[in-house]
Amino acid sequence: MKILITAGPTREYIDAVRYLSNASTGRMGYALAEAARAAGHQVTLVHGPTQQEPPQAYKTIAVTSALEMFQAVGDEFPSCDALIACAAVSDYRPRERLSGKLKREAARELTLELVQNPDIVQEMAARRSPRQVLIGFALEAESAEDHARDKLQRKRLDAIVLNAPATIGSDETTITIFRADGRREGPLTEPKSAAARRIVALAEVLLKHLRSLPPE
Ligand code: C5P
């Protein structure tokens, strides 16, 4: 199958050199792309700025901002069978990007006006065909399960992978998978490579199920 994966953080530039971002390293997303490739799938990885080695074995699209990621994912989504949204997309961006580098002397106080970025996976869920699988991630610190289940429903996903902030940058992860059909797997602590294989296998199972349904 054709799998589209998003990975890494996004950067939302304030001026020519400063930006808003987060601590995502992209490791889980790259592990997913490698697991999908190794399983024989056709992979496209849309990734934000990361230190990960650029892979040769599958298609990658490098983006910087959430809007660029939205555009790239929107272009690729119609032809994919499954989207696994692992990117830590910035929820907000500065309303405007200042040209040049903002000078310290320019103001004693500064208010940054932020506007919301599109929710990429939710937008794709709204555009999906009945034969496309969507899997999201939820990084939650508190009331984690409730928030993960809420996101699963609100974003209309087939499954959501819950993990904890402590997994950022680590080789291991602890995941719990919640499926839209009510099934649940985990929590499981394992290397990200093993978690990635598990999630790719889940995408295969979900797609097989969708394909077994009668046409609408
Ligand atoms: O709402 P929250 O950011 O916690 O949701 C996480 C899930 O939604 C992840 O799958 C992430 O890749 C996706 N997401 C997105 N676009 C955004 C925010 C999150 O695709 N703007």
Q: Is residue 80 part of a domain?
A: yes
Residue 120 Cα, ligand 1 centroid: separation in angstroms? 7
Whole-Å CA distances, 6 to 17, 87, 162: 24, 5, 16
Q: Which residues partner with 135 through β-bridges?
A: 84, 159
The residue whose C-alpha atom lies closest to atom 21 belonging to ligand 1 is 119
Query: Along the 216 residues of the chain, how does pLDDT read in single tens digits?
Result: 999 999 999 999 999 999 999 999 999 999 999 999 999 999 999 999 999 988 999 999 999 999 999 999 999 999 999 999 999 999 999 999 988 998 888 788 889 999 999 999 999 999 999 999 999 999 988 889 999 999 999 999 999 999 988 888 888 999 999 999 999 999 999 999 999 999 999 999 999 999 998 877
pTM of the model: 0.96
- Residue ranges making up the domain that contains 8: 2-91+113-212
CATH of the domain at 206: 3.40.50.10300
Within a domain: residue 66? yes
Strand partners, 189: 174
Atom of ligand 1 nearest to the CA of 121: 20
- Within 13 Å of residue 84, how many CA atoms lie on the same side as its CB? 32
Q: What are phi and psi of 48, to 5 degrees?
A: -80, -175
Ligand 1 centre and the CA of 105: distance in Å? 37
The pLDDT of residue 165 is: 84
Q: Quick one: pLDDT at residue 131?
A: 93
Whether 100 is in a domain gets the answer: no
Catalytic (active site) residue 22: yes
> What is the crossing angle of helices 27-38 and 192-212, to 10°?
60
Pairwise CA distance, residues 136 & 179, whole Å:
10
Nearest CA to ligand 1 atom 9: 137
Q: Which residues does a 6 A CB cutoff place in the pocket of ligand 1? A: 6, 66, 85-87, 89, 91, 117, 119-121, 136-138, 151
Tell whether 98 is covered by a domain. no
Q: How many domains does the chain have?
A: 1
Position 65 in a domain: yes
Q: Where are the alpha helices (DSSP H) in 60-191?
A: 66-76, 120-127, 144-154
**Residue 183 belongs to some domain of the structure:** yes
Position 54 in a domain? yes
